[in-house]
Amino acid sequence: MKTQALQHHDLFKAIIEKGSFKQKVYASTLEAMQTIKTSIKELSNEYQLLPKAQMKNIPIRYQEKGDFQIEIKFAGDVLIFLMHTNVFEFSREHPIMKTHYIKEDTKRSYCGVIHIYNFLSDSFKYNRVNDSGYLIGRLFINKDDHFFIEGKQELALIQNSFAQIEFTKETADKLIDAAMRYSTAFDLLTPPYDAIAEVTVDDMQITLDNMKLKTAKRMGFRFHSDSDRIV
């Protein structure tokens, strides 16, 4: 056995090194996810301090769904923060790969990812399984706890220097604020007439709220003004 182990020493060393720094990336991403959860909880608790008359029966609620997901519901919207359990690397064509920060240490290009999705809260309330949600941002975290945000323009207001800045509680607060502001301004528009002109008997036999007519924000429209990714 000793001879066999020595024969594959380089292989074992490579496996251990790769696995170790990927575990560090995973741990950094999970810590960022916990920080986001803390920020969401604090925001929800702060909202409860408003006078009830000012709230006008518009609650803000959050729900944790395990270690890797948290939802916050507000004003007809749901934001879902979803952490992927795997570690990814940026493609060679990505601008990040051309930076001195990555060239100095290529392991910095390996990141954990937290996706931010926006849905209509009624889609879940009435089990409208054909409704769509939208990815409004992605948070990347590397082994050094540095972060990079890719997403809609509101999220670009957050200082976004991958080479210099670590993900902190303050960053999480800004990220949640920006995501909620974007979702609130991202309105549901009437779909084109022809898109809903034909309905099946099966659709009509289901209750109105559960009808299989796909509902999504700005359904049937291209996002010309919202399609910019922040790099």
* pLDDT, tens only, 148-183: 898 877 776 676 688 888 999 999 999 999 999 999
Residue 153: what pLDDT? 72
- Report yes or no on 26 lying in a domain: yes
Q: What is the pLDDT of residue 222?
A: 36
Q: Please check whether residue 49 lies inside any domain of the structure.
A: yes
- C-alpha distances (whole Å) from 150 to each of 11, 89, 96, 227, 228 are 35, 14, 11, 12, 10
Q: What is the pTM of this model?
A: 0.82
Do residues 150 and 231 lie in contact, with contact meaning Cβ atoms separated by under 8 Å? yes
The average confidence (pLDDT) of the chain is 83
Residue 123 has pLDDT above 70, yes or no: yes
What is the spatial distance between Cα 153 and Cα 115, in angstroms, rounded to a whole number? 16
Backbone angles phi, psi at 93, to 5 degrees: -85, -10
In a domain, 163, yes or no: yes
In a domain, 151, yes or no: yes
Number of domains comprising the chain: 1
Domain that holds residue 120: 2-210
Q: Please give the Cα distance from 80 to 150 (Å, whole number).
A: 16
> Of 178, 154, 214, which is closest to residue 79 (Cα–Cα)?
178
- For 68-113, what is each residue's pLDDT tens digit? 999 999 988 999 999 999 999 988 898 889 999 999 999 999 999 9
Looking at per-residue pLDDT, the higher value among 157 and 134 belongs to 134
